[in-house]
Amino acid sequence: MYIPSINPYAFKIGPIAVHWYGIFMAISIAAGAYYLYVKSKELNYDEDFLLNLLMIVVISGIVGARLMFVLANDIDWFYKDPIQILKIYEGGLSWHGAVLGGFLAGLYYCRKKNVRINPLEDYAVIGLAIGNMLVRIGNIFNQEVLGRQTDFAFGRWPAQLVGVAMGLILLIRYFYIERKHMPYGYQFWSFIFYYQLMRGLIEETVRDNPLFLPVYLNKHLGIGFFTLTQIATPFILILAYWMMRRVINDPENKKLSF
């Protein structure tokens, strides 16, 4: 969706401007952190550990999201205009970078404290799904993550709404799978698998991203292959599927309290 008249700012206080994008991102982080905290307390995780973990994961996720975006889109910022790297409030975060940064930091901290990470991974899915929905709405306000132009009456593909729909589907799926009492870790890795599958096949196909490997482009339909994300998709799917099978086949990975 491209709405030139929409205001990216929620409000301004003097020289300080608060973006809708930042508000939506903050809400998704708060909702995800609250759910993870409440569910983890039910399994008797230590409160101080959880609060420290959440702070580490959130900070590392934001750093990873920004660095991955810059590396993939504006790598020259590092030596031409490094101050731009800090302007996350203007948009420009990589979902994959956020997950990778948060996961690696969380994994390191859990191993350092000798604490199981699998249940925590699963509870993080709520924040990831909500974040995917709200941040894509924020993208509308920032006039970014646009769909490809088509010859159809609707003009551009509403790529942001496709992302919102993906997040909603995965959020509903989480609560459906939760009733099946799958082994810990399955929710997280299956979320990664199905998110990446939908992202590669649907969102990236209609999203106006540069074709890293230009195999096919149909300007009438507004679809194209292959973006950088589409090229990475098979590798991510293989990793996620392997991890899904690993947690399912682990006899010690049961839904038991401490």
Q: What is the pLDDT of residue 17?
A: 84
Q: Give yes or no for a contact between 166 and 199, defined as CB atoms under 8 angstroms apart.
A: yes
Model confidence pLDDT, tens digit, residues 157-202: 999 999 999 999 999 999 999 988 899 999 999 999 999 999 999 9
Q: Is the pLDDT of residue 257 over 50?
A: no
Model confidence pLDDT, tens digit, residues 4-16: 778 888 888 888 8
Full-model pTM:
0.90
β-pair type (216-218, 16-19): unpaired
Q: Give yes or no for a contact between 220 and 155, defined as CB atoms under 8 angstroms apart.
A: no
Question: What average pLDDT does the segment 224-252 reach?
Answer: 92
- Identify any residues that bridge with 108 across adjacent strands, giving them in sequence order: none
Segments making up each domain of the chain, as ranges: 15-249
Model confidence pLDDT, tens digit, residues 106-129: 999 999 999 989 999 999 999 999
Q: Is the pLDDT of residue 224 over 90?
A: yes
**Binding-site residues from annotation:** 136
